Structure 1
Amino acid sequence: MRDTEYHRLLGMNRDAFEELEAHLEERTYDGQTYRHVPDYRRGVERGTTLIDDTIVRGFPKVPRTLVLSDGVPERFADQPDDRIAVEEKLNGYNVRVVRLDGERLAFTRSGMICPFTTRIIERLVDFEDLFEQYPKAMVCGEMIGPENPYTAHDYPEVDSLAFRAFDWRDRESGEPLPVETRRERYETFDIPQTRLFGRFEVDEAATEIRRLIEKLDAEDREGVIMKSLDGTAQLKYTTSAANQGDLAYAFSLPFDYGQPFMFRRLIREGFQSVEWDESDAVARERAHELGEAILLSMHETIETVDAGDPVGERHTVRASPETVDVLFEHLERQGLTIDIEADRREDGDRVCTFLKQTRSTIDKTRNYLDGHIVKE
């Protein structure tokens, strides 16, 4: 298939594809060249990948509501069913698993083939029967757990790393399965899934979701995803614990995470506080926790740099020695500086703790500590 024929699979004309093509990024995995869409363009989902004369669709962007009572009915007003499904939103990294020419590949949110996930997923989940019966399936899920090379978060039910499916789509069209069908299929193939909290009438969902959010917040979990029963419309809402955790992390690396990232999370806290009609005392407690998340994490980073030590994103992974090697090669090809802090063998696996240095935060913090003048 010639490159220009990809436009048919993407549902666009040749001219539109040629415009898109100029923005594709080219990469290589295991000797095979592919291209991917690094951000949303021409109505094509971020992470859409052109490979092997076919395409693997990116996962659609999920909108967010800041006010449950109005956002939920507005989002789902035009859906054919007056109920929505509410599932758990997990804090990890998004992957899509497909089978191409007999080989299972795991794609990141941006459309890169992740060599670490492609290898480790075989240990965690058996997809063989699923892809035998549904060869064009795109399994969408979250990689979660403390031994995670991208987004580490503790879950009491996960010791190392785990996979949880949250969607099932056609790999070329991107069309989703209805929620009930998807959950039944994954159950049939013994694929672990995100929790389903229930199906609620749209007009009553906001009240039920608030109860769920309060419980999830107390458990330091991330939030919920609401879906129309046919799977075509989605909406997300996160806990205060997730917002504050993100802020603490971002302000620990203040020159590597942009202001929009931080501002959006502060806005979520403000709207949640008002919608939940918090008293002055409760609102002040929230403000105090926000202030600690922001200032104390930044304070620790400045002290660390002042002491001459590096800062960055710290992770632990557990996998075969070959899988850990290809992970480091993958990260270094992206221009990252990796410091290995601990490295041991355990039951045949390599267990490695490493720091991904964040040069912008290190360099700027060092400059300001040395008296660099800030122009505002």
Structure 2
Amino acid sequence: MEYHRQLGLSPETFETVLDHVERASYEGTEYRHVPDYRRGVERGTVLFDGAVVRGFPKVPRTLVLGAGVPQQFDGPVAVEEKLNGYNTRIARIDGDVLAFSRSGLVCPYTTWFVERRLDLDPLFDDHPDTAVCGEMIGSENPYTPHDYSGVDSLAFRAFDWRDRQSGEPLDVRGRRERYGEYGVPQVRLFGVYDPDDAADELREIIDQLDADDREGIVMKSLDGVTQLKYTTSAANRGDLAYAFSLPFDYGQAFMFRRLIREAFQSIEWNESPEQAHKRAHAVGEAIVLSMTETIERVADGEAVGERHTVRGDPAAIDDLLDHLDAQGLTIDVQADDRVERERDGAERVVTFCKRVQSTNDTIRGYLDGQIVRE
């Protein structure tokens, strides 16, 4: 396959990329994916049965809205909601609709969900070279569970429309109109703003999202090319609580970046000493209380890890567990039930824990008297 032509690379450059791709298979078809960013190739780019599905570009972040927005944009800015879930790209290849993870793996569970819950055939009939880009959200998902009102299990929200080979985006207005025509649910659009005057209005949006325990916003030029993100304090605290509940499995860089976001937001928001103290108290609780809870659980003999609940066709759940096992993850199934739903018939509901060995072993060692060498 002349993948280098589809990627716009010279044969020599493509050969250097091939040194870093990983192989995988889905239903007997072998494919390759790029797990990390490489020269000229986005993370998650997939080479599948002669077709290319470009990875989703990395979106930069601003820590200061008032300065970052006018520096990044020289024209009107569309502001949409950033949701807390997992990034999914959907493409149709040789008649099969497939859902790809951020790193480029076909997720059998997400693919099952898309086939069962979204009717994308009319879209792909009219636009066969499209990659439908969006977020899978809800409390019942195998990667990033988060409660959203109106989502009782799992749902999809589109946030981009791209050519699957070139990665070029559709403009924001055209994208929202097209998804509307095909009945594809989308992320919320807050409005279009002038970059020099946007800070105050964006502050109001962020404050409301923060109060609602939602993640943040993504700002885009109207042509969809330039993007910028910003997250709420609630999202930062949630990330910190999650990271410190598994303190020996998440790196210091992960934690430090979120603490920096809190500090810069406090300064831009011009908080009083009392407000800054309240923020510091909330951040401290997120860090310390989640960590002490984990230590107590290990002390009581429990194994800690990432807990998830999923529901779906029994075969789809089997495929998901096999998929996670193939990635080298240790999965402990904690509950496994079957339920009858009027619309879908029998479904399997599984709660499982992805065990994180470093946190379990390190905490147990310290509880048993292991010396800390600093």
Instruction: Give me the TM-score of the superposition, normalised by structure 1.
Output: 0.97
Q: Return the offset for 1:43.
A: 2.5
Aligned residue type for 2:357: R
Aligned residue type for 2:110: T
Contact 2:81/2:189 (8 A) holds in 1? yes
Task: State the partner residue of 1:74.
Answer: 71
1:222-276 CA distance string (max 9 Å, x none): 0000000000000000000000000000000011111111100000000000000
Contact 1:83/1:228 (8 A) holds in 2? yes
Contact 1:124/1:163 (8 A) holds in 2? no
* Cα separation, 1, equivalents of 2:117 and 2:36: 29
State how 1:7-26 maps to structure 2 within 5 Å: 7-26=4-23
Aligned residue type for 1:368: Y
Task: State the partner residue of 1:95.
Answer: 88
Task: State the partner residue of 1:61.
Answer: 58
* Cα separation, 1, equivalents of 2:299 and 2:175: 52
State how 1:206-245 maps to structure 2 within 5 Å: 206-245=199-238
Correspondence for 1:283 among 276, 284, 288: 276
* Cα separation, 1, equivalents of 2:271 and 2:136: 34
Task: State the partner residue of 2:366.
Answer: 368
1:69-117 CA distance string (max 9 Å, x none): 000000113xxxx211000000000000000000000000000000110
Aligned partner of residue 85 in structure 1, secondary structure: strand
Are 2:8 and 1:36 aligned? no
Aligned residue type for 2:286: A
Correspondence for 1:311 among 297, 304, 316: 304
* Cα separation, 2, equivalents of 1:221 and 1:165: 17
Aligned residue type for 2:367: L
Aligned partner of residue 197 in structure 1, secondary structure: strand
Contact 1:337/1:356 (8 A) holds in 2? yes
Q: How many residues align?
A: 369
Task: State the partner residue of 1:145.
Answer: 138
Q: Return the offset for 1:169.
A: 0.1
* Cα separation, 1, equivalents of 2:204 and 2:146: 23
CA root-mean-square deviation:
0.7
Aligned residue type for 2:67: D
State how 1:175-324 maps to structure 2 within 5 Å: 175-324=168-317
Q: Return the offset for 1:124.
A: 2.0
* Cα separation, 2, equivalents of 1:167 and 1:177: 8
1:269-297 CA distance string (max 9 Å, x none): 00000000000000000000000000000
Aligned residue type for 2:59: V
* Cα separation, 1, equivalents of 2:189 and 2:127: 23
* Cα separation, 2, equivalents of 1:51 and 1:128: 19
Aligned partner of residue 333 in structure 2, secondary structure: strand
Q: Return the offset for 1:370.
A: 1.4
Are 2:124 and 1:127 aligned? no
Aligned partner of residue 161 in structure 2, secondary structure: strand
Correspondence for 1:333 among 326, 333, 342: 326
Task: State the partner residue of 2:347.
Answer: 349
Instruction: Give me the TM-score of the superposition, normalised by structure 2.
Output: 0.98
State how 1:146-185 maps to structure 2 within 5 Å: 146-185=139-178
* Cα separation, 2, equivalents of 1:9 and 1:197: 36
**Unpaired runs of at least 5, structure 2:** 341-345
Seq. identity, %: 64
Contact 2:305/2:354 (8 A) holds in 1? yes
Aligned partner of residue 26 in structure 1, secondary structure: strand
Contact 2:142/2:310 (8 A) holds in 1? yes
1:172-203 CA distance string (max 9 Å, x none): 00000000000000000000000000011111
Q: Return the offset for 1:158.
A: 0.5
* Cα separation, 1, equivalents of 2:356 and 2:170: 40
* Cα separation, 2, equivalents of 1:14 and 1:207: 49
* Cα separation, 1, equivalents of 2:40 and 2:195: 28
* Cα separation, 1, equivalents of 2:116 and 2:212: 28
1:300-345 CA distance string (max 9 Å, x none): 1111111111000001101010011101000111111111111111
Q: Return the offset for 1:208.
A: 1.1
Aligned partner of residue 91 in structure 1, secondary structure: coil
